[in-house]
Structure 1
Amino acid sequence: MRKLSTLTKSSLVTGAAIAAAVGMAASPATAAGTWTVAGGGTFTGTSTNSVLTDSKTGTQLKCTSSKATGSAANGTGKSGTGIASISAVTWTTCSGPLGITFNVTAQGLPWALNAVSYASPVTTGTLSGVKAHISGAGCTADFGGATSGSAATIDVKYNNSTHTLSVLGTGNLHAWNVSGICLGLLNSGDSVGYKGDYALSPATLVLTSP
């Protein structure tokens, strides 16, 4: 049998080491999160500046207040995926063009809060599973993801210093099943953005990552 040269042996050892390193990097164990949650538990977030904007028509739906209830479990070495959960969302006194008033109903709950990156004191992430329905005088519409019936993922930030969860108005939220006098103001398939700053109470939740 032909003997391996020193160079070949060295190459094999080096290749094996690289393969092992790649394998470790891709393994679920090393892909585990490094997030820490402190001051968690159940919280309520209140917004007084929530607004939904149709990016195509410019139509805006504004609400005088919105309240979100959620929870986050304390711990270290946590995955950023589903680091917190939003179990209920309500909106109060919502109106749009022509003085139309709306009722807004959250759907697809619970929604998952996902941490993506951290630059002290701010965590940047997403809120996934988002769906909602509006109904007004002769106007109804659904809101969800990029295809009818799907859930949306929207961009958020959480500030440890102010304990505020800010919904940024970006993501893949769309209007669907638009009917009645909403047509032309909102249209099925239109991309929409939702913004709002939710001040958390109690003001104790802290999300960190190295």
Structure 2
Amino acid sequence: MLVAALSAAMALTATSASATASASYAVTPGGAFSGHGAPATWAWPAMSFYCSATDVAGSLVPAPVGSVVGTVSSVAFSGCTLAGIAFSITLTSGARPLTATGAVAGRPTWVGLSVSGLAFRMTGTGCTANFGGGLTGHYENDTGDLVVDGSTMTVSAANCLGLLQAGDPTDLDADYAVTPHQTIQVS
């Protein structure tokens, strides 16, 4: 019985993966986009803090070939503080591909998105750290919101009073109002 359950789960996973891989996308109007959000939350096992504002910019391809629907060229954060200490967070990886991951179950107007290979540097009084990896989330066609709510990022190096260690998972929660309003269709 366990073998049958595992086989069914593996078949479902394979079907979902092949359905996502074979999906095609259309973006309207495409081109350069920007997004503004407030606040954003960064979190690690031993600390977390808010940034009062965050901005993202990039470009979208109107008729993408495959699942890469555009690029994210910049991500900026301002007003980041913890216990009165100001932190700056800088994107150091440059532009990265923005990949559509398919429709979001139960949300007919949402499209899953991911970006990988991101690298950030954080500096503050008595604290420096490098971290990177991927972010996941979704775009809401009805509201024009780009939501970041998943992460595979980890700390690669840190000198931060023992609060951050290499290998610590790094999470970002952010919500951006995208302009101009875009539509990403899945077929």
Deviation at 1:47, TM superposition (A): 1.1
Matched, 1:46 2:36: yes
Q: Distance in 1 between matches of 2:84 and 2:166?
A: 21
Displacement over 3 Å in runs of 4+? none
Residues 126 and 161 of structure 2 are in contact (CA less than 8 Å); yes or no, is this contact kept in structure 1? no
Question: How many Å apart are 1:32 and its aligned residue?
Answer: 6.1
1:34 to 10, 13, 24: 24
Query: For 2:91, what is the secondary structure of its paired residue?
Result: strand
**What are structure 2's unaligned runs of at least 5 residues?**
1-20
Any unmatched runs of 5+ in structure 1? 1-30, 145-151
Structure with a larger share of its residues in strand: 2
Deviation track 1:13-52 (CA, whole Å, cap 9, x = no partner) reads: xxxxxxxxxxxxxxxxxx6651111111111111102111
- The percent identity for this pair of structures is 26
Q: Which residue of 2 is the match for residue 74 of structure 1?
A: 62
Which residue identity is paired with 1:163? G
Q: Are the equivalent residues in 1 in contact too, given 2:54–2:77 (CA < 8 A)? A: yes
Q: Report the counterpart of residue 87 of structure 1 in structure 2.
A: 73
**When the two structures are superposed, what TM-score results if normalisation uses the length of structure 2?**
0.82
Give, in whole Å, the separation in 2 of the partners of 1:185 and 1:193. 15
1:50 is aligned with what amino acid? A
Kept in 2: contact 1:127–1:156 (CA 8 A): no
Q: Is the 8 A contact 2:23 2:102 kept in 1?
A: no
State the TM-score, normalizing by the size of structure 1.
0.73
Larger radius of gyration, structure 1 or 2? Answer: 1
Question: How far apart, in 1, do the equivalents of 2:173 and 2:163 lie?
Answer: 18
Q: Is the 8 Å Cα contact of residues 105 and 134 (structure 1) preserved in structure 2?
A: yes
- Tell me how far 1:99 sits from its aligned partner: 1.9
Corresponding residue pairs, total: 164
SS at match of 2:27: strand
